Amino acid sequence: MNTPTSNASSRLTRRSVLRAGLASTALVKMVHAGTAAKATHRRPNIVFLMGDQHRGDCLGADGNRAIITPNLDRLAKEGAHFRCAYTSVPSCTPARAGILTGLSPWHHGMLGYSRVAPRYPREMPRMLRDAGYYTLGIGKMHFHPQRNTHGYHKTLLDESGRVESKEFLSDYRKWFRSVAPNLNPDATGIGWNDHRAKPYVLPERLHPTCWTGAEAVRFLQSYRGAEPFLLKVSFARPHSPYDAPPRWWKRYEGVELPERVVGDWAARHAQHGKPYGNNLWQGDLGPEKPPQARQGYYGNVSLIDEQIGRILEVLQQRGEFENTLIVYTADHGDMLGDHHLWRKTYGYEPSARIPMLLRWGDGFCAADRGQVLRQPVELRDLLPTYLDAAGIDYDPSLFDGRSMLEVIRGKAESWREYIDLEHATCYAPENNWTGLTDGRIKYIYYAPDGRQQMFDLEKDPGETRDLSAEPEHQETLRTWRRRMIDHLAERGGPFVVGGDLGLRPTRTLHSPHYPTNVTALDARSTIRRPMRESESAYPT
């Protein structure tokens, strides 16, 4: 059993976890008045901050000199920055399934973009709730049905323009209607997957990022529960629309933003993808388009950073800062025109590499601050990390992820060597691939035709030079191909055929572990019906 906390008195036994779970509903209370009181929780709070489509290089802490992210940079300076953090399936819903379950794509069942299952045998908010935490999710959850809480006591939703049932109206849109009944929340006029950018045309206070930040601050100011809390704050930006408010738009006007990166292999993506119009997934739009998109994108990142600053300030005012694990990450990145590609679902760094920042309190983790770590981590590692921080005994064999606090504490001897990446067909038939990376070398295999790519990320972080066909790199290529075969071996055909990587002209959207039977006790041992393609036909 894993007993990771440094404070033995705060540890929960399995019996006390069960007892706390039975009592948690009766114990949890939210009082929305009164003055702030100093924290007395014996177990740490968890503030889980998350951007949508935030690429890993858009942080000052990552070496980006153009972007303004002082609060995120503070988390890195006072905590740890995992430089080689990835999302295994770089699109919204499978990434969120990994966060929920602590499992790899094959084991949670989502190999591409479809619906998060209604329930999994083990879910992050449900496990913490059962252990006596008050759990609240604010912002974009991207669950199905949309009001499914997956164990959160409560969710306050900003689902952008996504409406899956006639009666659904997000909490953000309800609020918008109440405070600005004569205005249109979509008045800026650019779409949810648009490559265009434009300043937000409404008063800044109405921007969804500001609403999400304000709701988080309101909770932190008013919470009086006896229990520690898990607060997830999930911003719907910097995902398009690239609609930064005017003051942030102007802040990046005339700033020398990073130019698009175009590899020596990228000409195949120069033709505009059809039939997406402004929502295209590939296409050479000329050198002027990426900087315009980045102006809006960078502005939205900075607006999120500003809201995070408000959250950190309230934690300090309430005396909770040193009793809280604070995490910032994202579900995936954004190509922003690099290699003539837009949006996500690709194995390249702008799409697959994400921020991963952790800041802990002295009371429950003794470790050096300001660490920059190169161990490959992934979204599946969040759930074990939270269980570790909370001092909850758990069986590590139930998860594919591991606690990142192990690495932070200097116990990384047996950490994974590399992480798996993949995405089932999306946008076009050729975009069906699997990959591996250790943050230094990346290998990608395209299943429809067997094409391979390999990049040296240390010498070529922009992935401009494909090494897969160069004679001097064939031994390295064989090593990584063999690793891919070993990784996919448990899947059998058509992933591995005759001891080698198989061709897959059609996509496999779900593994047999996808939990269509929501009452099953073990997602790894029950074979279930895959979701029909018609069930997943809605835009990312």
Answer yes or no: are the C-beta atoms of 192 and 186 closer than 8 Å.
Answer: no
Position 276 scores a pLDDT of: 67
Residue 290 vs residues 198, 201, 353, 451: alpha-carbon distances, Å: 13, 21, 19, 28
Residue of higher predicted confidence among 121 and 527: 121
Residues designated catalytic: 92, 142
The pLDDT tens digits for 261-274 are 999 999 999 998 66
pLDDT band at 396 (very low <50, low <70, confident <90, very high): very high
Position 86 scores a pLDDT of: 98
197 CB-near residues (< 8 Å, 6+ apart): 190, 241, 242, 243, 292, 293, 295, 296, 297
- 3-state SS assignment for residue 438: coil
pLDDT band at 279 (very low <50, low <70, confident <90, very high): confident
pLDDT band at 108 (very low <50, low <70, confident <90, very high): very high
The count of other CB atoms within 10 Å of the CB of residue 462 is: 18
The pLDDT tens digits for 56-102 are 999 999 999 999 999 999 999 999 999 999 999 999 999 999 999 99
Spatial separation of the C-alpha atoms in residues 248 and 427, rounded to whole Å: 32
pLDDT band at 365 (very low <50, low <70, confident <90, very high): confident
Residue written as token pair 């950073």: 305
519 CB-near residues (< 8 Å, 6+ apart): none
Q: Give me the helix-helix angle, 289-317 and 208-222, nearest 10°.
A: 10
Domain locations in the chain?
8-24+41-417
Element (H, E) at 356: strand 356-359
The pLDDT tens digits for 140-185 are 999 999 899 999 999 999 997 788 888 899 999 999 999 999 999 9
The pLDDT tens digits for 14-56 are 333 333 333 333 333 333 333 333 444 479 999 999 999 999 9
Position 68 scores a pLDDT of: 98
- When the pLDDT of each residue in the chain is averaged and rounded to a whole number, the result is 89
Position 238 scores a pLDDT of: 98
pLDDT band at 287 (very low <50, low <70, confident <90, very high): confident
Position 517 scores a pLDDT of: 62
Position 39 scores a pLDDT of: 42
Look at residue 249 and tell me whether its pLDDT is greater than 90.
yes
Average pLDDT over every residue of 376-388: 98
Position 275 scores a pLDDT of: 61
pLDDT band at 539 (very low <50, low <70, confident <90, very high): very low
pLDDT band at 357 (very low <50, low <70, confident <90, very high): very high
Q: Which CATH class is domain 8-24+41-417?
A: alpha beta
- The strand pairing partners of 39, in sequence order, are none
By percentage, how much of the chain surpasses pLDDT 70? 87
Position 485 scores a pLDDT of: 98
Spatial separation of the C-alpha atoms in residues 21 and 16, rounded to whole Å: 8
Look at residue 277 and tell me whether its pLDDT is greater than 80.
no
333: left (phi over 0), alpha (psi -120 to 50) or beta: beta
Position 274 scores a pLDDT of: 66
pLDDT band at 526 (very low <50, low <70, confident <90, very high): very low
